[in-house]
Amino acid sequence: MPLNHYTTLGRSGLRVSPFCLGTMTFGLDWGWGSTPEESCRIMDAFFDAGGNFLDTANIYTKGHSEKVIGDHVGKRPAKRGRAVIATKFMGNLFPGDPNGGGAGRKSICAACDESLRRLQTDYIDLYWMHVLDIHTPLDETMRALDDLVRAGKVRYIGFSDTPAWRCAEAQTMAHFRGWSPLVALQIEYSLVERTVENELIPMARELGMGVTPWSPLRGGVLSGKYTRANRDTVEPGRGDWVKQHLTDRNMDIVDGLIKVSKEVGATPAQVALAWVQGKPGVASTIIGARTMDQLRDNLKALEIKLTPEHVASLDEISAFKPIFPNAFIPNARHNVQGGTTINGVASEVWPMAPQSDGERW
């Protein structure tokens, strides 16, 4: 699949590339990342390859990420018109100010204006709530976001890192009140992190939210550079954020990735990206790149063709234990379907049910 084979995001008409360029590394303000000059080269290479989707946040590199995008894209009408720029609110850039972050109306409106200023644009294509705000009523957040859409400052809205039931509540509220609906859900999703398949992925598919996975390589754990042999001696650039995930289970997954990558002539990272992008509900996977080489390598994942056998092997080695009631519901088919097959799902006659009409009360 080429980068310029676009998909509509969720239940919307917004066209986005199958990979989204994550920009958390734009700027060196956190002590690691890319210079503004390298960041601009990365953006241009992404655009030239057909990509159009950028993801940032107000707090990335202390606001510098948005400024880098604004300097290179926002102030250039031709680039801005073709780009789909997504950014997030919630993060607090003002220590000591309780309203400097969060999902309340005061904070959202201020954060939006500040992002527009840094991005040097009149509108944000996709505005994300970065994470659930436990202190703010959800109807206040949704109404404030709808007001921003009606004002023309925002085109579409989405949620990131929010429980499924809260997303469903927000979506139902929006539909019943005629407010702007959520069109996308940004969540961590990878061979390492699959618990989102319990509730979040099914919810998003049912309620019209396109999934945009973040950290599809789990901070580099699935890149292939960390192995069972070297995991105790390496010092990752992100320290404990990576080291805590170099577990036996994850090393098993890496072993499986290496095996598949040799069979398809790719790198483990490319196979991991191809796996997540091919999952049901996934619209556009967020890839990060600190260098041009990393970008080129990641984009090659779109050329990978995984066979059903490859996918099955990776699914098996990364399998996780379902949570209740997901673990319980499949077993109920026997006392529901009466030994019949429905939509391809087979069942057995439940031994505790009447075995003939004469046994019914």
Residue 112 CA: distances (Å) to CA of 23, 53, 333: 18, 19, 48
Show the tokens assigned to 186: 């940004």
Q: Which ranges constitute the DSSP H helices of 304-346?
A: 308-317, 334-337
Give the helix/strand (H/E) hosting 142.
helix 138-150
Per the CB < 8 A criterion, the answer to whether 40 and 72 are in contact is yes
Category of 338 on φ-ψ map: left (φ > 0), alpha (ψ -120 to 50) or beta: left
C-alpha 170/C-alpha 164 separation (Å) is 10
Q: Which residues are catalytically annotated? A: 60
Show the tokens assigned to 78: 């031709």
C-alpha 44/C-alpha 42 separation (Å) is 5
DSSP-derived 3-state class of residue 187: strand
